[in-house]
Amino acid sequence: MTWLDDLAVRLGFPQLADARLAELAAAAALGAAALGIGWLVKRRLGTRLADWLHGHEFGAPGPLTARAAAMVGWLSAMLVVAIVIAAWPWDPYALLLLDVVLAISVAVLVRNILVGVGLGDGLALAGAFVALVVMLSRAVGGLETLQERLDSVGFSIGARHFSMLSAINIVLTVVILFTLVRLASRVVRRVIKGSDRFDPTQRLLIEKISTVVIIVAAFFVGIDMLGIDLTAFAVFTGAMGLAIGFGLQKTVGNLIAGIILLMDRSIKPGDVIVVGDSFGWVNKIGVRAVSVITREGKEHLIPNENLMTQEVENWSYSSRAVRVKIAIGVAYDTDLRLAQKLMIEAAKESKRVLEEPAPVCWITGFGDSSVDHELRFWITDPEGGVGNIKGGVFLSIWDKFQAAGIEIPFPQRDVHVRDLPEAATRPVTVAKPKAQAATAPRKAPSSPRRREGSEPQ
C-alpha cells in the first residue's frame, strides 16, 4: 500500500485502485460544464442584472452592483453542481471532485458578497476560506468531525474553554451580522429614499435612527449567539459608565465620533477636506483623531469630535469634481472675445482640467482700469493642489496675451495741474549765506619776528 492509499484510507476513501475512472471522468466533465454554465450566465444574465441595478440605484453605483454579474454566475454554477451531486450516488472520488467544485463556487460567491457589502479584501478572503473549509468538510466526514478536531485545539480558563472552534464561531458571527446589517441598512435606505411622504430632513433622520436600531439589534443577537453572559456584561457596562463619568468623556466622545464617521462615511480616507485652517486629504480615521496630510507634507491630527461639531468642507463627498475660479482683467481697448478665447485655450492646455464640463470665461464687471473676467474650469484631483494649477494657467494666459498684444492693466494715477496761484508763479530767490568772517572767530595779529643781529627800523 502506497502513502496515497494510506492517506485515502485515513480520510475514509477506498484505495485508489478501487476508484471508478468512468464516474470520475463524468464528474470532471459535469463540473467543468457547471463552471461553463456559470460563465455564460454571468455574461448573459449577470451583465443585464448589473445594468438594471445601476439604473435603479440611488446615488453612485456601489461595489455590490459592480459584483452582481459575478455573484449570479457563481451562484448558477453552485446550483448546477448541487443538482448533479443530488441526482446520482457517485463514487467517493467522483463525489470528492464535485465537492471541490461546489466548495470553490461557494467560496468565490461568499467573497464577492462580502466585498460587495463593503467589507475589505482581508475579511472577504477570510470568509471565503471559512466557507471553503466548511464545504470541503462534508467530503471527509462532515462538520461534526471537523468541529471535534477544532474544539480539541485550545485552552481553558476557569470554567471557560477557548478553542479554534470558538474563535471561528466569533469570526463567523461578526462577519454574518455585519453583512446582514449592511444589507438591511441598504434596503431601508432604498425604501426611505423611494418614498415621497418625507422631506430630505425626515429621510435623513429616519435613516440614521433605523441604522442605530439595526446595529443595536445585531449586537444583542450576536451576544445571544455567542452565549455571552449578560450579567457580566451589565457589570462591565456599569464600570465603563463610571470611568466615562470620571474623566474619559473626551476620549469616549472621540471614540464614538470616530465610529460614527466610519459608519456614516461622510468623511472617508482619500477625501479632500477643509477644517478651520487645515486643508488636505484624509489619510486615515483613527480611534481618537483623523489624520489630514496638507500640501506642505504636514500631518494634522484633528480630534474626531471637531469633525462632528465644526463645519467641515468636503471637496470629494459626493463627487471629486471641483470648480476652480481665476480672476483676470484686461484693458478697455482689448478685443474681449479674443481675450476670452485665449483664456479658455490656456485652461484647456492643462492636463488636469476636465474637457467636460468645458472651461468658461465670463465678464464679471467693469473696473476702474480694466474689464474684469472670471475663468472657471473643473478638476477631479483636488488633492494634487489648486494653487499649482492656477499658476500654470496664469502663466499660459500671460504667454498668449503677450503674443496677441493684449495688455493686462495695473492701477496708476495721472495728475493734471490746471491753474496755479500767483504766488506760485513768482520766481523764487534764494538768500545768500552771510560771510564767514562775521561768524568766524578773529585771529590775533602776528608780530614780526626779529632777526638776530639786526636792529629795529
| 258: in domain | no
Answer yes or no: do 342 and 363 share one domain: yes
Predicted confidence at residue 456, as pLDDT, reads 42
Task: Check whether residue 64 and residue 119 sit in a common domain.
Answer: yes
Residue 345 has pLDDT above 50, yes or no: yes
Same domain assignment for residues 37 and 88: yes
The answer as to whether 242 is a domain residue is no
The reported pLDDT for the residue numbered 288 is 79
pLDDT of residue 20: 66
Please return the burial class of 3, using the count of CB atoms within 10 Å of its CB with bins 0-12, 13-18 and 19+.
Answer: exposed
Spell out the SS3 assignment of the chain.
Answer: CCHHHHHHHHCCCCCHHHCCHHHHHHHHHHHHHHHHHHHHHHHHHHHHHHHHHHHHCCCCCCHHHHCHHHHHHHHHHHHHHHHHHHHCCCCHHHHHHHHHHHHHHHHHHHHHHHHHCCCCHHHHHHHHHHHHHHHHHHHHCCHHHHHHHHHCCEEEECCEEEEHHHHHHHHHHHHHHHHHHHHHHHHHHHHHHCCCCCCHHHHHHHHHHHHHHHHHHHHHHHHHHHCCCHHHHHHHHHHHHHHHHHHCHHHHHHHHHHHHHHHHCCCCCCCEEEECCEEEEEEEECCCEEEEEECCCCEEEEEHHHHHHCCCEECCCCCCCEEEEEEEEECCCCCHHHHHHHHHHHHHCCCCCCCCCCCEEEEEEECCCCEEEEEEEEECCHHHCCHHHHHHHHHHHHHHHHHHCCCCCCCCCCCCCCCCCHHHHCCCCCCCCCCHHHHCCCCCCCCCCCCCCCCCC
Q: Which grid cell is 429?
A: 530767490
Question: Would you state the pLDDT for residue 152?
Answer: 66
Among residues 158, 183, 203, the one where a domain terminates is 203
| 36/169 same-domain check | yes
Note the Cα 356 to chain centre separation in Å: 23
- pLDDT value at residue 437: 46
Does one domain contain both 333 and 388? yes
Average pLDDT over residues 356-382: 90
Q: Are 245 and 231 in contact (CB under 8 A)?
A: no
Same domain, 66 and 148: yes
pLDDT tens for 65-110 read 677 778 888 888 888 888 888 887 777 777 777 888 888 888 888 8
Q: Is residue 296 part of a domain?
A: yes
pLDDT at 71: 81
Tell me the pLDDT band of 200, cut-offs 50, 70 and 90.
Answer: low
pLDDT at 393: 92
User: Is the confidence at residue 4, as pLDDT, over 90?
Assistant: no
Whole-number Å distance between alpha carbons of 99 and 109: 15
- Number of structural domains, the chain? 3
Residue 50 lies in a domain: yes
The pLDDT of 302-317, averaged and rounded, is 81
Which one of 404, 419, 451 terminates a domain?
Answer: 404
282 in the same domain as 177: no
Q: Which domain holds residue 122?
A: 3-203
pLDDT value of position 146? 58
- Residue with the larger pLDDT of the pair 413 and 232: 413
Q: Is the pLDDT of residue 332 over 70?
A: yes
Average pLDDT value for residue range 360-375? 91
| Lowest-confidence segment of 20-24, 239-243, 359-363 by average pLDDT | 239-243
Instruction: Give the range with max mean pLDDT: 210-219, 254-263, 419-428, 438-447.
Output: 210-219
> For a pLDDT cut of 70, what percent of the chain falls above it?
69
pLDDT higher than 70, residue 209: yes
User: What separation in angstroms does the CA of 254 have from each of 163, 260, 262, 288?
Assistant: 34, 10, 12, 5
pLDDT for 11 beyond 80: no
Is 181 in the same domain as 283? Answer: no
Are 297 and 348 found together in one domain? no
Residue bearing the bigger pLDDT, 170 or 375:
375
186 plus 54 within the same structural domain: yes
The pLDDT tens digits for 281-294 are: 888 877 778 888 88
Amino acid at site 403: A
Answer yes or no: is pLDDT of 59 > 80: no
Has residue 307 been placed in a domain?
yes
Mean pLDDT value of segment 144-172 = 68
| pLDDT for res 448 | 46
Q: Which CATH number do you get for residue 283?
A: 2.30.30.60
Categorize the per-residue pLDDT at 391 as very low, low, confident or very high, splitting at 50, 70 and 90. Answer: very high
Residues 39 and 102 in one domain: yes
Could you check whether the bond before residue 63 is cis, i.e. omega within 30 degrees of 0? no
441 vs 320, residue with greater confidence? 320
pLDDT recorded at residue 340:
92
Lowest mean pLDDT among 27-41, 119-133, 176-190, 282-296: 119-133
Does residue 215 belong to any structural domain of this protein? no
Within-domain flag for 421: no
**What is the separation of C-alpha 365 from the centre of its chain, rounded to a whole number of angstroms?**
39
152, 169, 203 - which closes a domain = 203
pLDDT of residue 452: 44
Confidence band of 141 (pLDDT split at 50, 70, 90): low
159-187 residue pLDDT tens: 666 777 677 777 777 877 887 887 788 77
Residue 342 is predicted with a pLDDT of: 93
* 355 in the same domain as 307: no
pLDDT average, residue stretch 430-438: 52
Q: Is residue 423 part of a domain?
A: no
Q: What confidence score (pLDDT) does residue 215 get?
A: 85
Provide the percentage of residues in the chain whose pLDDT is more than 90: 11
Asked if 338 contacts 406 with a C-beta cutoff of 8 angstroms, the reply is yes
